Structure 1
Amino acid sequence: MELRVLKYFLAVARHRNITRAAEELHLTQPTLSRQLQDLEEELGTPLFTREKRRMELTEAGLFLKARAEEMTAIETKTLDQFAHLEDFIAGDVYLGCGEIQAVRLVVQALTPLGRAYPQIHFHFVSGNDEQTFDALQKGVLDFGLLCQQTPPADFVYRQVPFDDEWGLYLRRDHPLAQKQAIAPQDLYEEQLILSCQLLRDHVFAHWLGKDPEELDIRATYNLVYNAAFLVEQRLGLLLSFKGLVPIEGPEHPDLTFRPFSPAFSSHNYLIWKKEQVFSRAAAIVRARIEEAFGSHD
């Protein structure tokens, strides 16, 4: 079954008349009649009931008309896309990130691309900094959003203008909840829940005034969602970023947050590999990142 013949069939279906359809197609009437007969023989069923001056579609003809219109529409769309191939951007873009507030700014920056290029599909892959960095090195991700004190060497980066503030999540009935801020010494005798990343952060160790391994660490976590339930059950106090645990709503009504004093925060960096060969979709995203977050110089 050729698409050309289906177009002949659709012309006859529109006009309900062989003569007028042949004129539109610039064919002789016998040629068009023969093409329709061959199509009916190929399908093994009549497509029209033929009367003196008018042809009506059979049930099989109505079914074929719907399918033929779909097929010719796909052909038209495909030819149009190839005609404008240089302007057509499509593809998948992978961005790794953790549970951090800076994601909101990144999404806001990328939202115009979603409207301008509806065929670009974004995939946000959750993980801590180590997991994101490893996936970037392996080429699994196009971009990574890291929350740390300094950007990694040998990567291109743009700093997101938002610093995540560290602090302590604890039960409202815990004695430390009476304080407005938590000092390093307040943590020395407490049972704590830390991220794996924070344990190896030398800047945190400097703020703390001692090796984090000397603390009473009851649990570690990669992502904070599950760690909050440990605090509810009095298994420890949770060190994490402000705003990540919903303490104002019904999910964790018994928890509260206290900032550290002196303040301790981490920067956020969007990074990608040097000499990275980007797809056209990822290159569009990189250009938008550079436009939104400027240069690191």
Structure 2
Amino acid sequence: MELRDIKYIVSIKKYSSITQAAKELYIPQPTLSNVLKRVETELGKSLFIRTKSGLKLTKSGTHFVQMAEELLAMNDKMMSEMASFSETPKTIRIASPDMWCARLVAPVTAEFFKSYPDVMVNIQEKSTAEIEEGLRKDEIDIGILQLPFLDMDCFDYRPLFDEQIMIAVASDYWKKYAVLIGAQQDSISLKHLENHRLIFTDPERPVRRKIELALKNNRIPYMISAVTNNLEASLVLAEKEVGIAFISDKQKNYYIDQYHLTYVRADQFLPKWQMVAVQKKENHTAIIDSFIREMEAFTAGWDSGSHF
């Protein structure tokens, strides 16, 4: 029985479901079912029984999980303490796109230093393509990416938060074009973008590709007035009525009071995605895993809006 098997059994107990546990562990359900069967055979005990409300622990299962949780806690403590005994400084390299270096990685680093004061954190701002390449070449330990990304089978990833694209327009922009949105309307139809000037990022950026695909699929003609990979530059351009900019709902919360803009949802039309922390499957260490856990804790309330 491997430590990984023990973690899997504890996860089944947590979710009372092999299906849900497999989903959270990012492994196929049959794989998890086989692990459970193998462990039960090795122990000669049934650990779970099926009920209408899901899987429940047997008496033997309850005892096993209690010991398993103690063992896993001890393993985490051992890994953390052994990491701190290193005689040579360690470096963890983290790459993130755009604003998440300052808004996510930097504050998480501050918390991380409380447990790992001797570890140097190298924070790098990179494009999605650069992060993917850096991960493949072992030049980056953790990358912040949106799903899906290339070569997903080569990496492990943990969900952090969801994002939804919104549009950012100058307050009087829509009135000039006789489109009633803003204070009177929380969301728009994609058709409202027809023949408008749009501010985009470079063509290789995933967000632009997704937005243009949505426009193309709905046969919406449009014009490109400016191209920039700098979010704040795009907001300034939108404020000056150069065109319509695009921003995620999470990013918007940091800029809402800085520019004279109206932010409007197009929930049924513009793309949504999930941001994740990515690492190579073979690169799991106590330090890297601890940093990712700090990121998970930091972003825990973001999707409910409690962070903002």
**Shared fold per TM-score greater than 0.5:** yes
| 1:230 aligned partner | 237
1:85 and 1:164 mapped to 2: Cα distance? 34
CA contact (8 A) 1:144 1:272 kept: yes
1:30-109 to 2 correspondence within 5 Å? 87-88=85-86, 90-99=89-98
| 2:273 aligned partner | 266
2:220 and 2:93 mapped to 1: Cα distance? 35
CA contact (8 A) 2:201 2:208 kept: no
Structure 2 residue runs of 5 or longer lacking an equivalent are 1-81, 298-308
2:172 and 2:217 mapped to 1: Cα distance? 27
2:268 and 2:122 mapped to 1: Cα distance? 37
Q: Could you tell me the TM-score, scaled by structure 1's length?
A: 0.56
Amino acid at match of 1:91: K
1:48-197 to 2 correspondence within 5 Å? 87-88=85-86, 90-99=89-98, 111-149=110-148, 152-175=151-174, 176=179, 177-178=181-182, 179-196=185-202, 197=205
Amino acid at match of 1:169: A
The alignment covers a number of residue pairs equal to 203
1:212 and 1:291 mapped to 2: Cα distance? 43
| Deviation per residue, 1:96-120 (Å, 9 max, x gap) | 1123669856666665431121111
| 1:20 aligned partner | none
Cα drift, residue 149 of structure 1: 4.1
CA contact (8 A) 1:165 1:266 kept: yes
Amino acid at match of 1:154: D
1:145 and 1:230 mapped to 2: Cα distance? 27
Q: Per the alignment, do residues 285 and 193 of structure 1 end up closer, same or farther by CA in structure 2, a change over 3 Å counting?
A: farther
Identity of aligned residues (%): 15
CA contact (8 A) 1:191 1:235 kept: yes
Q: Per the alignment, do residues 191 and 204 of structure 1 end up closer, same or farther by CA in structure 2, a change over 3 Å counting?
A: closer
Instruction: Tell me which structure has the larger Cα radius of gyration.
Output: 1
1:262 and 1:181 mapped to 2: Cα distance? 9
CA contact (8 A) 2:193 2:220 kept: no
| 2:288 aligned partner | 286
Greater displacement, 95-104 / 159-168: 95-104
Amino acid at match of 2:288: R
Structure 1 residue runs of 5 or longer lacking an equivalent are 1-83
Cα drift, residue 181 of structure 1: 1.1
CA contact (8 A) 1:102 1:162 kept: no
SS of the equivalent of 1:275 reads helix
| 2:49 aligned partner | none
Amino acid at match of 1:260: A
| Deviation per residue, 1:46-98 (Å, 9 max, x gap) | xxxxxxxxxxxxxxxxxxxxxxxxxxxxxxxxxxxxxx997137322111112
Match of 1:216 among 217, 223, 233: 223
Cα drift, residue 131 of structure 1: 2.5
Amino acid at match of 1:255: L
Q: Per the alignment, do residues 182 and 152 of structure 1 end up closer, same or farther by CA in structure 2, a change over 3 Å counting?
A: farther
Q: Could you tell me the TM-score, scaled by structure 2's length?
A: 0.55
Cα drift, residue 185 of structure 1: 1.4
